[in-house]
Amino acid sequence: MTEEAKTEEVGFGRFIAIMGVIIVFLAVWPFLFPSKNVEKPVEDQDGDYWSKSTLYPCGEVTLKEEPKRIVTFNHNHNDMLETFSYGDRVIATGYPKSFYYSFYKQLPGFDWKVRKENPNLKFFQYQPAGVFDKELFYSLDADIHHIDPNRLARMKGWSVEDVNEIATNIAPFFDNNATMLGDDAVNRNWGVYSGSVYYSFEDYTRAFYKLYNQVQKGEDLLFFIHSLEDKVKTRLKDEYRPRVAILRWKGNEITRVGINSGIEHLQYRTLGVRDAFKGLETKVQPKVEDKSILMGRIDLEGLLAIDPDVMIMPYIIYTFENDNHIMTPPWKMFLTLKDDPVGQKLSAFKNNRVYPGGILMQGPIFYCFQLEMAAKQIYPYIFGEYHQDNIYKPEEQLFSRDDLARILR
């Protein structure tokens, strides 16, 4: 064999070897670097399953198939489901008055599905047998229940056996209501499960999105939210932190609510406000639905002694009609206190710093809007004046509606 032939043979051999390495590399590439955009059902020793995720007190929850019939209770569940177009799968939820569409309407091309006008949507509040009747769960025949078992224990007296019966015969439960309240829920008897564990907004979000094989969508939303939070905090810098009072009004009585470490008050913590009621003696009210929170009644004289810079009443945006914003009696009655001989002395009334509050059970979409809402209410001289309809010109907005909508689409 000539030297030229030998050289050609060696070259061809190298070519074959290199091609072999490339083929092997391409074969193992998907396993070394799986796509972040394609999330498929996985397999373990028990066989195929669609997804798995863990959340106390429900433990590790496995979904064998993609859920088609979903039961929720709090608004934050619906808000998260809407972010990946599962809203039309919700067959039952908590309350018919827990709807507010104005935020969703501002997102170009975003079509939400959980609507109170849906004749097929059931509400736990109006069930004749009472909230959380076992027969109701059987009739709903859901694939997943986003309800904390401790809530079932507190509101209906369910035992561990009752919870396991529905979880085994129908579908598992997946929620942690203590996350709404944070520290206020810790070390309290929530029912059939000892102790309480609550999650940060990020950890709760990740657990929920993992259950639905939407990990990347969850991370994209959290990145957007963290960017918004950083933007807000940067503009605040060393700004004076007002003393904010979160209040409720019912039956001609004022109830003071402390700013807790849960998702309920996340926007106020992000804004670094001071809790006007911090340090006051409070009492636990363990029998108020599952609001085992530190709160207490206060009269006008007591409120004047504290004299908060800003007063906010949560849930009020629920009660505003989408078009004409008619005020409902509790909010309207509370505002009349500015004409009271004592109430008119309150700095918040004198300075027009009394505002309607948002929805406490907030998911990622609502949190973005309600952070903007609270920023404008508490720091109008930095972020601009608050509008009761929550609609602003692009240059007045704290985040781009287009950018958020692109993540959702």
Query: Along the chain (409 residues), what's the average pLDDT of each consecutive run of 10 residues?
Result: 50 53 43 38 63 93 96 94 95 85 94 87 72 87 94 81 94 90 61 70 97 97 98 92 91 82 91 90 45 66 94 84 55 89 95 93 95 98 94 97 95
Q: Is CATH 2.60.34.10 correct for 47-221?
A: no
DSSP H helices, 122-189, are 134-140, 149-156, 160-169, 178-181
- Cβ contact 155:132 at 8 Å: yes
Residue with the two structure tokens 């829920």:
185
The one-letter code for the residue type at 37 is N
Please say whether the beta carbons of 221 and 204 come within 8 A.
no
What is the architecture, at CATH level 2, of domain 239-408? Answer: 3-Layer(aba) Sandwich (3.40)
Two structure tokens written together for 82: 């809407």
What is the token pair recorded at 127?
């069930």
Q: What's the pLDDT score for residue 128?
A: 57
What residue type is 324 in one-letter code? N
The torsion angles phi and psi of 44, rounded to 5 degrees, stand at -135, -170
Q: What is the pLDDT of residue 309?
A: 97
Question: What does the pLDDT read at residue 203?
Answer: 96
Domain span(s) for CATH 3.40.50.1980 in the chain:
47-221, 239-408
DSSP string, 2-34: -HHHHHHHHHHHHHHHHHHHHHHHHHHHHHHS-
Between vectors from CA 79 to CA 386 and to CA 219, what angle results, nearest 5°?
Answer: 95
Which pLDDT value is given to residue 191? 54
Which residues are CB-contacts of 282 (< 8 A; sequence separation ≥ 6)? 256, 258, 294, 295, 296
Whether omega before 57 lies within 30 degrees of 0, making that bond cis, reads yes
Q: How far apart are alpha carbons 219 and 143 in whole angstroms?
A: 25
3-state SS assignment for residue 331: helix
